[in-house]
C-alpha cells in the first residue's frame, strides 16, 4: 500500500514517518496542493557495505602546507 502525506502533515509527523520508512522499507510520497513533490525512499542495505569497504583507505597527513623535502623541476 502506497502512503501519501500532505506537506503539512508530513512536516508535523516527519520523524515518525522516517522511522516507518526505515522499518517497513516502503517509499512514502509527499504532496503539495495535490501534486507530488517528494518521495522518501528507504536506503538500500548495501550502503553499510560501501562505507565499511572504505575503512583504512584514508591517509592522514599532519602538515599539508609546509614544503616537502623532495626537490623537483618544473618545465619551462
Fold annotation for 3-53:
YefM-like fold (3.40.1620)
* Domain boundary assignment for the chain: 3-53
CB-based contact 20:1 (threshold 8 Å) = no
- Give the pLDDT confidence of 13-64 residue by residue, as tens digits: 999 999 999 999 999 999 999 999 999 999 877 666 777 777 888 777 788 7
The answer to whether the pTM exceeds 0.85 is no
Q: CA-based angle 23:28:32, to the nearest 5?
A: 150
Amino acid at each position: 500500500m502506497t502512503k501519501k502525506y500532505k506537506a503539512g502533515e508530513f512536516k508535523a509527523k516527519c520523524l515518525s514517518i522516517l522511522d516507518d520508512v526505515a522499518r517497513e522499507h516502503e517509499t512514502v510520497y509527499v504532496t503539495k496542493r495535490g501534486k507530488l513533490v517528494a518521495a522518501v525512499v528507504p536506503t538500500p542495505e548495501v550502503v553499510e557495505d560501501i562505507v565499511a569497504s572504505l575503512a583504512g583507505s584514508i591517509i592522514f597527513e599532519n602538515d599539508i602546507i609546509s614544503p616537502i623535502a623532495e626537490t623537483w623541476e618544473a618545465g619551462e
